[in-house]
Chains A and B, each alone.
Chain A
């Protein structure tokens, strides 16, 4: 009887081993197949994404109503858009007592050969969700007003793309432009504009702006 059990035991172990071996072989080959399939199907390189909601170049061009050669240009260049550092620059100076029309340009030039006009394509198209505010500081005598033909923006306020600026007495200071997306409240009653809530898509301050 004892030998019988022993034989049975050995048989069982043999059976077990062969079974284990079979299954582990199966398992290994499954693993191998899996690696093979997946490594073959995955050799394509991903395509580059050109950011769509990027703003790389913001340009404020002030042109004297009386003298088209009297121009002040404020530029902000951020090659990586909002993700990277930006450099601000001001060329020209305002003439005391003169009135200027401001033209805005907001571009996504990540692809320099095909810059995207963010102002006209995105912001103005969705003017009711946007609002520009301006501010001056540091003692510069600049005032501004939103033009009658300015586009309606958030809360039926004037968006702030067509504006007129008047330079007062000789002075130096800072000029700020902000673009607010989805403000909770907007108010253009003081012309410069103010908001509550929303998120700032632009917040650029140009320093050392001069009126001569």
Chain B
């Protein structure tokens, strides 16, 4: 009886059911970004466990459906598979958007090539697997992987990247889409970047990337965090390293948590420390380093919209070679003649004056949304706080008070629209506003090197990229920037008159003390920058790139206001508030040739800079410390040109040869002299053996050959020893001789299960403990560069 009832009920139920199951669902699959129909998509009807396919118009239909929920899983070549729920209420129609240009829209990172941010600029990408080798070093060291990139150093821990002979304010560094604002005007101010937070670094020579700024006369460095993966996963990486030279050690750890829903979070921390480094023949006393970094970010990353909150913290305490603190030109002369540092102590981790203590905070929030048949709109706000303390050799209670205490705060808002509905005609436009506040703490008891100032920047830009046919891509861009400096600076009355400002700027004096004027210089700069380029594929193996960039850089705070003693150089450095902007016209061409075995990149450039600003000696004054040279920033037209070549050849499957060569010349056209601090001709050869079967083993020998710079300006000066009336020349110009170094590197990766592996790397830098000095090291007058360094690094991926 019971059974019968059940059967009856079931029958009625199923009759009702079958009665209503006659509806049709029509789906139309279209491309999200340009709203065109997509044909040939596979549709899996999960609820029915059956398949169908979209027709040529992107349409498909499913018949005999009941009211209720329908789950569809749609996949298409090149698309992210999409799973949707459809409510069937009678006959139902629904539009389904898919995106099948993820690659072109920079959504998917190409595993092997790396993601370039420009099409026609001379851009090179340094990837994760190379960057990891620099875990215990700095950004400037890692960038030297690229031919034509060198660095200007103060010792071996303050490393500033130099792109085709230009550095500091002429290079724009972008950290996770935030333009780094860290008082980059100073030659001893290394970029505040923790190399361990970078997943990929792009180096763009010249000012081709206008969206980032119009003043990158030298180039742009783009540092990116890892791409967010949209799947449920937890992974991480820990690096442990040790180095014999400086008895250094470093640890860095990253943990990522990602969700299929697009939510993600990442935490990365690193710490590195070393004590006094060693040149082959002596200790480099007071060259220790203590560096702490923390980076964290979270957000949601969906195809159509997303946001990110990012924060990074970096604190560096950097010792500067003790012997480089000098008081007079006689001290400098003695240091040069001595040939080794005057202070040589036993090894120590202690960091004493002279030293730098720099803290950099960077916080960013960004939001983006993609609109169908339009493109992507991004908003970003970022805040940076850069605190720079420089401790000098002082006496008494002042010992613990920094001689330089600067705090630079920067707020930036950015809006950017990227119109990529038509992949053959992309447009990008944006607007940027920035406010900067520099505070020079008067408690130092030393007159401010850089004054208090407010700076206002405003920029608008538009760029476009046209794919004319399969072989030719054109791009162009234009940008306008407005900059205003509003400073409050004290001038010694004597300096005010020496500079002739009493004639030209008497109206900016707002107050005075018995010995000083307080002035309020307000300067506005209008800058136009532009670029145009073409990329032409000659065949499937090779292409040509041509690019022209106009860029314009207003003078920086140092070039305008600098007024003080540069200790390690025993000279005064004076700025000039009359300066106008620098304007650069750069033309470049590249030839790329690629086969599976052979790879060649040749890049040439010519950069003509009007009103190029650089430091040049101009006078001598007698002081209570003897004669002292005065150096002032001057403006002169200049030209730079050069060629960078990168070649690699797979001799066999296991043996590879690589060469990187760079050659550059630069001249001051007004004074008809070579430019100072240009890298000499250098060539790097590397032979690598690798064998995938032996746990991905590889070993390489690298030869680094740096020639002597034979063209340099003669800024030598003659001093008269008042005691003996003897005249002596101080040779500060002659570059050190050429040198050749050999480096060894080997690594192997051991897998544990599917997701974990352990990479062990052993390296020996300066294999033969060769003594050498580098022309581009500001401390070359005082000491040799580093001797042999054996490094061991263990990387655990999990």
Contacts and interface: CB of A to CB of B under 8 A. Distances in A.
Contacts of B625: 82, 200-203
A111 B514 CA distance: 8
A66 interface: no
Interface string B417-452: 100000000000001010101001010111110011
Contacts of B572: 83
11 contacts: A23-B379, A24-B415, A30-B381, A45-B511, A46-B448, A46-B451, A47-B442, A49-B444, A184-B342, A197-B323, A203-B625
Contacts, number: 169
B663 interface: no
A123 to B, nearest CB: 8
Given A49-B444, A202-B624, A182 B433 contact: no
Interface in A138-185: 138, 174, 176, 181-182, 184
Contacts of A112: 514
7 A-B pairs closest in CB distance: A199-B327, A52-B445, A197-B342, A205-B722, A203-B626, A200-B327, A200-B328
Contact of B723 (A82, A86, A126, A137): A137
Contact of A80 (B323, B325, B330, B494): B494
Interface stretch (B389-397, B540-548, B709-717): B389-397
Given A35-B456, A51-B446, A174 B723 contact: yes
B561 interface: no
Contacts of B722: 174, 176, 205, 207
A53 B398 contact: yes
Contacts of B621: 84-85
A190 interface: no
B595 interface: no
A122 interface: yes
Nearest to B513: A48
A157 to B, nearest CB: 17
A110 B515 contact: yes
A55 B624 contact: yes
Contacts of B511: 45
A16 B417 CA distance: 12
A205 B723 contact: yes
Interface stretch (B109-117, B132-140, B264-272, B368-376): B368-376
A164 to B, nearest CB: 21
A20 B417 CA distance: 10
B587 to A, nearest CB: 36
Interface string A100-140: 00000000001110000000011101100100000101100
B488 A83 contact: no
B24 to A, nearest CB: 15
A203 to B, nearest CB: 4
A39 B454 CA distance: 9
B414 to A, nearest CB: 9
Contacts of A204: 624, 626
A45 to B, nearest CB: 6
A16 B435 CA distance: 29
Q: Classify the secondary structure of A's interface with B.
A: mixed
B187 interface: no
B565 A38 contact: no
B265 to A, nearest CB: 26
B627 to A, nearest CB: 9
A8 B437 CA distance: 48
B395 A122 contact: yes
Interface of A: 8-9, 12-13, 16, 19-20, 23-24, 27, 30-31, 34-35, 38-39, 42, 45-53, 55, 58, 76, 78-86, 110-112, 121-123, 125-126, 129, 135, 137-138, 174, 176, 181-182, 184, 196-205, 207
B653 interface: no
Contacts of A83: 447, 492, 564-565, 572, 623
Given A30-B413, A137-B724, A46 B440 contact: yes
B372 A85 contact: no
A46 B488 contact: yes
Contacts of B518: 45-46, 48
A203 B624 contact: yes
Nearest to B515: A110
Contacts of B330: 200, 203
Contacts of B395: 53, 122-123, 125-126, 129, 181
A34 B435 contact: yes
Interface residues of B, number: 69
B394 A53 contact: yes
B413 A34 contact: yes
B622 A86 contact: yes
B107 interface: no
A133 to B, nearest CB: 11
Contact of B624 (A27, A31, A78): A78
B446 A52 contact: yes
Interface string B388-414: 000001111010000000000001010
B451 A82 contact: no
B623 A86 contact: yes
B331 A199 contact: yes
A78 B625 CA distance: 10
A211 B447 CA distance: 42
Interface string B590-604: 000000000000000
B435 A38 contact: yes
A163 B442 CA distance: 38
Nearest to B492: A80
A107 B413 CA distance: 51
Nearest to A125: B396
B538 interface: no
A205 B622 CA distance: 11
B422 to A, nearest CB: 15
Nearest to A137: B723
A174 B398 CA distance: 35
B687 interface: no
B565 A49 contact: no
B492 A49 contact: no
Nearest to A206: B722
B292 to A, nearest CB: 30
A205 B444 CA distance: 31
Interface in B353-388: 369, 371-374, 377, 379, 381
Contacts of B96: none
A83 B327 CA distance: 12
B89 interface: no
Contacts of A81: 624
B510 interface: yes
A184 B451 CA distance: 35
A27 B413 contact: yes
A89 to B, nearest CB: 13
Nearest to A201: B327
B428 to A, nearest CB: 15
B53 interface: no
A74 to B, nearest CB: 12
Contacts of A34: 411, 413, 433, 435
B732 interface: no
A202 B327 CA distance: 8
Contacts of B327: 181, 198-201, 203
Contacts of A35: 435, 456
Interface in B558-575: 564-565, 572
A76 B624 CA distance: 7
A125 B398 CA distance: 13
A181 B492 contact: no
B9 interface: no
Contacts of A121: 396
Contacts of B440: 46
B343 A197 contact: yes
Interface string B511-522: 101111010000
Given A85-B622, A121-B396, 14 more contacts: A23-B379, A30-B381, A31-B433, A46-B440, A49-B446, A51-B447, A52-B445, A79-B494, A82-B565, A84-B494, A137-B724, A181-B393, A200-B328, A200-B625
A51 B448 CA distance: 10
A114 to B, nearest CB: 11
